[in-house]
Each structure stands twice: as C-alpha cells, then as structure tokens.
Structure 1
Amino acid sequence: MSGNKTKLDKGIKFLLYALPLMFIGPSVIYNAFINKQNVWHWLVLAIGISLCGLAVYFMFKGIKNLTDALFQNNK
C-alpha cells in the first residue's frame, strides 16, 4: 500500500505543478498578441506556448500516476 501512496502523492504533485501553468500560459500568449508592435512578440509567444505545453505534460503525467496508484498498476 505504501507504494501506491507514494505514486498517489507523486500524481497529485504533478497536478499541482500543472495548475498555475494552466493560467499563466494563456495569459502570456494573450499578452504576446496584445503587444504585436513590440520586438519581443515572438519570444513571448514561444514562452507562452511552451508553458501551455508544459502544463499539458504535467497533467497527463499526474493523471497517469493517479490511475496507476488507484488501480494498482505495478509496472
């Protein structure tokens, strides 16, 4: 059972990492589109897209760890 608890904790940790990124990423992308006249537009847009991608990665990783812990998938 302790192995499942550590996997459960790890999954929740990944989901907690994804939560702020789900709000910061779109905000950065919105800021990039508002400031198109700025020379840093493409850099800010790339950072926003990478933050959104990182949020999706952490969400999938967290959900996978949660389902492994809950359904006792010991691989």
Structure 2
Amino acid sequence: MKTKHTNKEVLVNGLKKLAIALLYMFLGPILLHIAFSNQEKPLYIPILIVGLLICFFAIYMAFRGLKTIIDSMFNSN
C-alpha cells in the first residue's frame, strides 16, 4: 500500500499563485476607487476597465491557487 504525501513543489507553486491573487485583490479595488472618484477625467473608462480586469484576474488566480494546493495534497503522482 502506497502512502500519500504532499508534493511540496506543487504546494509552493499554489502558495505563489495565492500571493499573486492577494496582491491583485488589493490593487483592483484601489484602481476602481480611483476611477469612480474621478469620473469627469478623460482616463475614467480605461482605469475602470483595467480595475475590473484586475479584479477578475484576482478571483481567477485565487481559484487556481486553491486548486493547485488541493492537487498537491490529494493527487498521487
């Protein structure tokens, strides 16, 4: 019977993805706040679009990071 162990390299990779997601979780709302507080400026729309994309990317990276961490624990390679 083979015992299952956590793959440390994959776990570290997942933690890096979560760290990137955490960075973007702060950056996205900051950009959205800047965009909404300067609606009369000409860069309102581009900053708003970039802020929304960063927010969606943060959610995507968080899910990818969690999936990678779960795969490191439960996949037998």
Query: With structure 1 as the length reference, what TM-score do the two structures score?
Result: 0.89
How far the C-alpha of 1:6 sits from its partner, in A, is 1.2
How far the C-alpha of 1:72 sits from its partner, in A, is 2.3
CA distance in 2, matches of 1:36, 1:15: 32
Q: Is the 8 A contact 2:32 2:47 kept in 1?
A: yes
Q: Is the 8 A contact 2:6 2:74 kept in 1?
A: no
How far the C-alpha of 1:4 sits from its partner, in A, is 1.3
Q: Is the 8 A contact 2:13 2:68 kept in 1?
A: yes
The residue number in structure 2 matching 1:58 is: 61
Q: Structure 1 segments of 4 or more deviating over 6 A?
A: none
Total equivalences in the alignment: 74
The residue number in structure 1 matching 2:31 is: 28
Q: 1:7 aligns with which of 10, 17, 27?
A: 10
Structure 2 unaligned residues grouped into runs of 5+: none
Superposed CA RMSD in Å reads 1.8
Deviations 1:43-74 (A, max 9, x none): 00001001111111110110000001111255
SS at match of 2:7: helix
Query: With structure 2 as the length reference, what TM-score do the two structures score?
Result: 0.87
CA distance in 2, matches of 1:59, 1:3: 20
Structure 1 unaligned residues grouped into runs of 5+: none
Q: Between the two proteins, what is the percent identity of the paired residues? A: 35
